[in-house]
Structure 1
């Protein structure tokens, strides 16, 4: 770990390009490839061989040629690029959602944040950047292999261990209560199948006024979580939203939306912790012509005993142990190279 006064990870974002760093190569068709630089290394494609030494020691933002004269633009990957190209086990939280989570949860420098589950570490990186070197993020994860992938990815991005990050193996519904002081957590961010199971834990560890943001994939999860939060009486009225990202085609006078977009990835539900013994205001609502029956509400919210909140019933992708182990190896390999890049004092 660095003992300098330089902020964690800054040495991989500025200065000349060094062995162990990741760079993004873009060709004339806009195709992007990410490689790890090594002294004497080569990058082989059907277009020819590119010598790493043509990049090492120089600045980013240059254009280099391979042995066949094929040209590439060289830049360091941005956080968005890194997240979408890094080894993964669980599906990553997309950059558009990570950015909004940081904004919604009001993640500030020095904050103490509890996160669950850690997945492949994409959201963890954004949270760690926001809390800074003086803040802390405690990430709870059930699967050991996912925690290992996340550790590799985080260390690869920062080039070292982050002093404020602690990954803990355990059930987010119970472990935080055992390991966090009551009312000591500033923000809680959950990305899991059944976040309502964590409601008692969140109410215990989250400080009054603290923000809780959950990322869920389906409408049924969103509805169930909102109703559980309302029923608990310890939080403000939950707010829900989703972020859709649409890029545009820019070519002279031909300016139009692109045919593809990053549409639904998940819903964000946010609420704030009330002080002890305080109840939320009953918001005035317009009278409804009809009210659904308790049976209908239970069926929609999935609160009956027959409902199973698992990956199979929610049709989410199940990551095999074999694939997870492969991702662990790749993440650790990239992290080892990044940790070799020297850190210099400003």
Structure 2
């Protein structure tokens, strides 16, 4: 008799964190070409708030109830037919968009990236979306060169921190936009802080920036474009301002469409929107190659992703409130094996 138990974080209906619930679910079985993993770590992303509020284009066609969970590091505990490249006990990673905030889940073996032995699962999980986004923005999208002057918006966030660290390794001159309370962190990561509450980033650098990375959106896109030098590049990759203002998805899509129109303006400036899912669809080999490179950097100690807190399944709803409030200087990571504070008190 199988005594394994599956629990998942399910979205009942689109809306706020209160629409999430942790429920018991059937234990999945690995089908042909699949593996089943015991989930060791699954990141809680700001992107999850977009999915939950029905503001994420890639999941726009899905309707609740469904299981949340954008990425996963897990240990294989069941192999489906025709899976020969992995064995029981292997640790693997994948970007799933949905379904990984769970104790167990199945994955396509062809989509998996091996996780080197000895890596902390929670730290490894931080790399799959946030650090991958940063790496590909720098090296696949912007194709940065040493010495370029680069502005990173939201520099204290998960992607922002990764952009500063990886940008420093690439030899860039870096500025990081954030609220003043994060200035020490931004300096620690090798960038010059820009305080949004006291400074106008469009006038910080005479002549303008070579590249601006903007995950905030709204009027910020226009101002980021204005902050570029002649021939500079704006890489947009998110629209957190629209989420905070509870805008509709169509509004955010209009912001993105406008970016491409600006590239036709005089001055040679360029702008485009980066999507990690679109990039993976066009170049699936890049995703595996880049994630292996990030895992190698983590294994060597060259990078140290910040895990703000490891949380249990029963703490996910509170974690989503914290995500929406902002101000975290690291990543929240779900570790299903952790007992909840309630269980700890009972013990």
- Please give the range of the TM-score, normalised by the shorter of the 2 chains: 0.3 to 0.5
Higher Rg of the two aligned structures:
1
TM-score (norm 2): 0.38
**Greater fraction helix:** 2
